[in-house]
A and B are shown apart, each in its own frame.
Chain A
Amino acid sequence: MPFTLPPLPYAMDALEPHMSKRTLEFHYGKHHQAYLDNMNKQIAGSELEAKTLEGVVLSSWNNGSPTPVFNNAAQVWNHTFFWENMKPNGGGAPSGKLADAINASFGSLDEFKAQFKNAGATQFGSGWAWLVADKAGKLTVEKTPNAVTPLVEGKTPILTMDVWEHAYYLDVQNRRPDYMNTFVEKLIDWEAVAKRFEAATA
Chain B
Amino acid sequence: MARIISYMNRFVIVAAAASALLACSAQAQIQQVALPYALDALEPEIDNATMNFHYGTHYATYVNNTLAALKNATDSGVRLPVATSNLTALISSIKRLPSPLNTTIRNQGGGAWNHALYFKHLTPPGSPATQSTAISAPLRDAINANFGSVDNMTAALSAAAGKVFGSGWAWLCYTGNSSADLAITTTPNQDNPLMGQLPGAPAVSAAGCTPILGIDVWEHAYYLKHGPKRPAYLESFWKVLNWQQVSKNYDSAVQGLELDLSEAAPRALEAPSKAVSAGSSSSGSAGFGAMAAAAAALLAVV
B 185-232 contacts with A by CB, 8 A: 188-190, 218-220, 223-224, 227-228
Contact at B224–A147, with CB atoms within 8 Å? no
- Please indicate the chain A residues that have their CB under 8 angstroms from the CB of B57 in the complex: 173-174
Contact at B220–A147, with CB atoms within 8 Å? no
Listed by A's residue number, 16 A-B pairs whose Cβ atoms lie within 8 Å are A34-B228, A124-B107, A124-B189, A124-B190, A125-B190, A164-B219, A165-B167, A166-B219, A166-B223, A169-B224, A170-B223, A170-B227, A173-B53, A174-B58, A174-B61, A174-B220
* Cα of A164 to Cα of B189 in the assembled complex, Å: 12
- Please indicate the chain B residues that have their CB under 8 angstroms from the CB of A174 in the complex: 53, 57-58, 61, 220
Q: How large is the interface on A (under 10, 10 to 19, 20 to 34, 35 or more residues)?
A: 10 to 19
Mask for B50-75, Cβ within 8 A of A = 1, else 0? 00010001100100000000000000
Query: Besides the contacts A30-B227, A31-B228, what 15 more A-B pairs have beta carbons closer than 8 Å?
Result: A125-B166, A125-B188, A125-B189, A126-B166, A126-B167, A127-B166, A146-B166, A147-B165, A147-B166, A169-B219, A170-B227, A173-B57, A173-B220, A174-B57, A174-B58
Which 3 A-B residue pairs are closest in the complex by CB-CB distance?
A: A165-B219, A125-B167, A125-B189
* Interface presence of A145 (CB below 8 A): yes
A 5-27 contacts with B by CB, 8 A: 26
User: A residues bordering B, Cβ < 8 Å?
Assistant: 26, 30-31, 34, 71, 124-127, 145-147, 164-166, 169-170, 173-174
* Cα of A174 to Cα of B223 in the assembled complex, Å: 11
In whole Å, how far is A54's beta carbon from the nearest beta carbon of chain B? 21
Contact at A165–B223, with CB atoms within 8 Å? yes
- Please indicate the chain B residues that have their CB under 8 angstroms from the CB of A125 in the complex: 166-168, 188-190, 218
Contact of B166 among A30, A164, A169 (CB under 8 A): A164
- Please indicate the chain B residues that have their CB under 8 angstroms from the CB of A173 in the complex: 53, 57, 220, 224
* Cα of A31 to Cα of B57 in the assembled complex, Å: 25
Residue of B nearest to A124 (CB): B107
